[in-house]
């Protein structure tokens, strides 16, 4: 089983490119076959041009763009084979709902799991691609000034990470209230907010690390006390006892202490 790389969006593609370098490393190096999926975007060629330049600058020349404009393309046997045999798969940003509408439950969607589980590939997603990694996906929402009941809506994702919901562009777009809104109302889930140019790297064998320049914020409301079930939609709930963990870039974590459950959810084979 390979690694998961969950990126908060806006990763550096021109200067140090630490996040993209890590993706290439986890994929086995610059000589390994890599594929870029742009299904989340309405301007796939423009997105591919950006990543093609970045990967070329990092001397990764066995990179192939797999455009998928609709579900018919996502059922293409040749494209599915290219995914299943790749050592690194990079899912770009755009709209996670579009991504799931095109790829969810298709031959290419199944090939993602085959590559990750059977071929040891690194599966990376940035922005919308990051949100789509989980079983429960942040589909849309707002909560600019305070957490609000019903401020965000969940949908089904690709299912690589259970019991965690990802929010991206986290610090830059001030999304702590949005994530609190979701996790307070669905305490079965843990929330992970990932900053821009920052990646949460999940090593299936022994834990996780944070790469880039920002932080990952983990929100845990399993033991919180709240009145959210008793208030109307749009109102701000009382929240007592919510726990937040801050995981800065450069840190590595194993199964111990406060993060044991979070790491178990991220690394559980399913």
* Predicted local distance difference test score (pLDDT) of residue 257: 65
Tell me which of 11, 148, 196, 209 is the catalytic residue: 196
Q: Which domain holds residue 220?
A: 4-267
Q: Which of 3, 127, 131, 181 is catalytic?
A: 127
pLDDT at 269: 55
Q: What was the pLDDT predicted at 256?
A: 66
pLDDT score recorded for residue 142:
86
CA atoms of 99 and 69, how far apart (whole Å): 10
Annotated catalytic residue, options 27, 41, 136, 169: 169
Q: Are 116 and 1 in contact (CB under 8 A)?
A: yes
pLDDT of residue 205: 73
For 64, residues 6+ apart whose C-beta sits below 8 A from its C-beta are 33, 34, 35, 36, 82
Q: What is the residue-level pLDDT of the chain in tens, covering all 270 positions?
A: 899 999 999 999 999 999 999 999 999 999 999 999 999 999 999 999 999 999 999 999 899 999 999 999 999 999 999 999 999 999 999 999 999 999 999 999 999 999 999 999 999 999 999 999 999 999 999 878 899 999 999 999 999 999 999 999 999 999 999 999 999 999 999 999 999 999 999 998 778 999 999 999 999 999 999 999 999 999 999 999 999 999 999 999 887 667 888 888 887 754
How many separate domains does the chain show?
1
CATH number at residue 233: 3.40.50.880
Backbone angles phi, psi at 258, to 5 degrees: -65, -25
Helix (H, G, I), strand (E, B) or coil at 242: coil
pLDDT at 172: 96
Q: Is residue 196 among the annotated active site residues?
A: yes
Contact 241, 224 (CB under 8 A): yes
């Amino acid at each position: 089983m390979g690694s998961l790389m969950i990126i908060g969006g806006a990763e550096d593609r021109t200067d140090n490119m630490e996040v993209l370098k890590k993706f290439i490393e986890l994929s086995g190096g610059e000589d390994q076959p890599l594929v870029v999926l742009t299904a989340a975007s309405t301007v796939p060629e423009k997105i591919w041009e950006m990543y093609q330049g970045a990967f070329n600058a990092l001397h990764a020349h066995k990179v192939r763009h797999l455009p998928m404009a609709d579900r018919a393309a996502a059922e293409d046997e040749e494209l599915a084979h290219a995914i299943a045999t790749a050592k690194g798969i990079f899912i770009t940003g755009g709209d996670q709902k579009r991504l799931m509408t095109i790829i969810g439950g298709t031959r290419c969607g199944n090939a993602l799991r085959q590559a990750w589980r059977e071929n040891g590939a690194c599966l990376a997603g940035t922005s919308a691609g990051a949100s789509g990694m989980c079983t429960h996906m942040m589909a849309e929402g707002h909560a600019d000034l305070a957490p609000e009941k019903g401020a965000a809506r969940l949908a089904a994702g690709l299912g690589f990470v259970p019991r965690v919901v990802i929010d991206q562009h986290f610090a830059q777009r001030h999304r702590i209230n949005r994530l609190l809104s979701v996790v307070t109302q669905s305490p079965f889930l843990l929330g992970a907010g990932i900053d821009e140019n920052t990646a949460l790297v999940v090593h299936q064998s022994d834990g996780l690390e944070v790469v880039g320049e920002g932080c990952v914020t983990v929100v845990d409301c399993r033991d919180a006390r709240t009145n959210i079930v008793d208030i109307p939609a749009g109102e701000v709930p009382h929240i007592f006892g919510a726990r937040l963990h801050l995981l800065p870039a450069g840190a590595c974590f194993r199964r111990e202490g406060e993060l044991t459950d979070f790491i178990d959810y991220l690394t559980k084979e399913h």
